Chains A and B, each alone.
Chain A
Amino acid sequence: MVRVQSPQDFWAGILFILFGCAALWFGRDYAFGTLTKMGPGYLPAVLSWALVAIGGLLTARALAIDGPAIERSQVVPQLLILAAIVLFALAIERLGLALAVVLVAVTASLASRDMRWSETIALAIGIAALCVLLFVHLLGQPFVVWAF
């Protein structure tokens, strides 16, 4: 059984191969053309194949040469941050800037091991006020502050 000597390189290679294949798949309908009369599909196709090739090279090398391992991920903090961003996208138009910011600040803070509720609430309200002052009043951006 072949062992992966360099996990980072191995998975990076796989990632490249996947992206390359995806680009080839989604770009399959674009006109190809020739080098001197390039169609819209020419460069995407060339690049996708190049990416797949590089990915292949990396994966092959990773089976032979030693390399660093992939550091563990805690998963939950990262998911919370991503959830916070998604929450903002959903909340900004339905609830307004002020509430959206509070929600994001709180959700993001949850990602930290050392969070304290008192601090977080104060921070959330503070940064919400700052955003409203800065973006709406000072910079005149068209945000809905409070959607009710």
Chain B
Amino acid sequence: MDLFANLATGFGAAVTPVNLGFCLFGCLIGTLIGVLPGIGPIATIAMLLPVTFGLSPLGALIMLAGIYYGAQYGGSTTAILVNLPGESSSVVTCIDGYQMAQKGRAGAALAIAAVGSLFAGCVGTILIAAFAPVLAAFAVKFRSPEYFALMLFGLIAAVILAHGSVVKAVGMVILGLLVGLVGTESQSATARFTFGVPELYDGVDFVPLAMGLFGLAEILSNLDRRRDPRAAATVISSLWPSRAEIRRAAPAVVRGTMIGALLGILPGGGAVLASFAAYTLEKKTSRFPAEFGKGAVEGVAAPEAANNAGAQTSFIPLLTLGIPSNPVMALMMGAMLIQGIAPGTAIISDRPELFWGMVASMWVGNLMLIIINLPLIGIWVRLLRVPYRLLFPCIVVLCCVGAYSVNSSTFLILMMAGFALLGYVFGKLGCEGAPFLLGFVLGPLMEENFRRSMVLSFGDPTIFLRRPISLCILLAGLALIALIIIPQFRSRRDEAFQE
């Protein structure tokens, strides 16, 4: 069959000692920067771009790709261990992953994340191999109106994400939206809420926000407790997930993979939704909804799978249409341009060894990553046993260094401190960070797409209803709102009956 012949070509090209070496190097560096707060794949790939001038095209792309999905694996690690999300997609893993670690199930959480990611990566690779053109055609149908509908849907889902009061969650989403609006608005080029600070012209940077709001705020609130917050976790639990946990995690992984694979192909913000959407789905369909937010296994398995599946499928628009789905893909496109390859539909037919070589190397890369990450779990868990008084200064240091490395700007460090204080206050008031963050990420995208849709339709708001895909998504959003409101009424009614 054609597919097998192509895969054979691909493996032949990818499994050479040189290219395997590039793959390993990429995966190692990727894991490292994923674990380190602050530095992300974008900065690293940008730094390595000049190095790729002199490499063979396939080798260069394999290495850079390895960095990208390696960082996904690494980012989950810090999210679970110390509540530090490496990327916007790891924020969801913080919610239940960190709670699992608090309960002494860090090893289980890490293992589930790793294996779930491997499964998702493999499925993602198969999807690319078999369905790339079909998926690309689907992705292209998404334009401004569809993206607006999708972002709106995501924001409604953000409210479900919260495990506390719905009203507060809505408030946090709105606050996040407002903070997300800081920066220069693209259509009118107006600077909003920047107070004349140059570093804010492009918006609040995600890294200091996330590190402050999640990782550092957590440290601030831990210091209020007299005893080591993980004293309960000195019960030596097994490093690996229990059978019950695996049984619950497995279907979650499959569901997460599907969601991630679909949302990942959407250029312009799809992947960001993947982990949130997967988490929301799990929470709403689980038999144990009360566990979410306190260490539910599905809350780690599904988002992690969604992440990695999305990371794989986000290559599709680039390799088939020449459209990068996110800044990392833009860099990969840059690397291709440097090599004299113009990405677009021509790649699959003109340079098949490049396309299939990359596909094959993704599978190899995922395998390498699981081999790297599984043994590391033991080390990470041991690291957690280090007394907190020695651990938290290290986290503070790494956050500071990471924040500075984003832009060599001390302003970002001060901003991080501000968010740490804010996150601490939020914690005291029972407000959750995840809805805030989702609002922050989705808000500007939603506004931009809404405005562009309005300009394109010359002011006709029915454009969202006339296009089938956006109509479907909006209806789904309404259904979601109903899902949120109805249980509230039912519980109030029950209370009334009891009285």
Q: Do any beta carbons of A and B sit within 8 angstroms of each other in the complex?
A: yes
The secondary-structure label for the interface of chain B is helix
Which of A12, A92, A124, A134 is within 8 Å of B36, CB to CB? A134
Which of A39, A55, A112 is within 8 Å of B171, CB to CB? A55
In the bound assembly, the distance between CA atoms of A89 and B32 in angstroms comes to: 24
Q: Check B413–A85 contact: CB distance below 8 A.
A: yes
How distant is B484 from chain A, measured CB to nearest CB, in Å? 15
B223, B387, B397, B408 interface centre (most CB from chain A within 10 Å): B397
Instruction: Find chain B residues with CB under 8 A from A85 CB.
Output: 216, 396, 399-400, 413-414, 416-417, 420
Of B104-112, B300-308, B424-432, the stretch lying at the interface with chain A is B424-432
Q: Check A47–B220 contact: CB distance below 8 A.
A: no
Nearest-neighbor residue (CB-CB) of A50 within chain B: B174
Which of B188, B389, B450 is within 8 Å of A115, CB to CB? B389
Which of A43, A51, A54, A81 is within 8 Å of B396, CB to CB? A81
Q: Mark B176-193, 1 if CB is under 8 A from A, else 0.
A: 011001000101101011
A55, A89, A127, A134 interface centre (most CB from chain B within 10 Å): A89
Of B162-170, B243-251, B319-327, B374-382, the stretch lying at the interface with chain A is B162-170
B389, B400, B450 interface centre (most CB from chain A within 10 Å): B400
Name the interface residues of A61-93: CB closer than 8 Å to any CB of B. 61, 68, 70-74, 77-78, 81-82, 84-86, 88-90, 92-93
Show 28 A/B contacts (Cβ-Cβ < 8 Å), sorted by A.
A8-B429, A9-B430, A12-B429, A27-B193, A30-B190, A40-B190, A47-B178, A47-B181, A71-B224, A73-B224, A77-B220, A78-B220, A81-B420, A82-B420, A84-B393, A85-B396, A85-B400, A85-B413, A88-B400, A89-B410, A92-B404, A104-B400, A105-B393, A108-B396, A123-B394, A127-B397, A135-B405, A139-B33
A-to-B contact residues, CB < 8 Å? 8-9, 11-12, 15-16, 19, 23, 26-27, 30-31, 35-40, 43-44, 47-48, 50-51, 54-55, 57-58, 61, 68, 70-74, 77-78, 81-82, 84-86, 88-90, 92-93, 97, 100-101, 104-106, 108-109, 111-115, 119-120, 123-124, 127, 131, 134-135, 138-143
B-to-A contact residues, CB < 8 Å? 32-33, 36, 39, 44, 47, 165, 167-168, 170-171, 174-175, 177-178, 181, 185, 187-188, 190, 192-193, 195, 216, 219-220, 223-224, 226, 387-390, 392-394, 396-401, 404-405, 408, 410, 413-414, 416-417, 420-421, 424-425, 428-431, 447, 450-451, 454, 459-461
